Amino acid sequence: MKPARQDLLPCDAVVMKPADLPDDPQPVPPREPALDECCGQGCEPCIFDLYEAARQRYLAELQAWQARHASRLTPDGSS
């Protein structure tokens, strides 16, 4: 085991928030299926059920991303 570095104490460490990281891109919304992509057979789950679940995840991810980037966003929500 390596000895702890004495020149880097916890109070000297730089804490990077997620918004400071370059690999935190804005979430991308899921593609909405076209009406003719549904087979109409009553599938469980239907492609529209899967889309709605993906859309809800996207909205939650977008809200979290916007909170992380709040100081950098313009009033319309874009960066």
**Could you report the per-residue pLDDT of 22-77, keeping only the tens digit for each?**
688 999 999 999 999 999 999 999 999 999 999 999 999 999 999 988 877 666 66
Mean pLDDT across the stretch 10-28?
A: 65
Q: Is residue 38 part of a domain?
A: no
Residue 38: exposed, middle, or buried by beta-carbon count in 10 A (0-12, 13-18, 19+)? middle
Q: Is residue 63 part of a domain?
A: yes
The answer to whether residue 28 sits within a structural domain is no
Domain range for 63 is: 43-70
For residue 23, what pLDDT is reported? 82
Tell me if 17 is assigned to some domain: no
Residue 75 lies in a domain: no
pTM (2 decimals)?
A: 0.63
Looking at the 3D structure of the chain, how many domains does it have?
Answer: 1
CA distance 77 to 63: 10
Residue 27 covered by a domain: no
Q: Is omega for the bond preceding 33 within 30 degrees of 0, making it cis?
A: no
Residue 15 lies in a domain: no
Does residue 21 lie in a domain region?
no
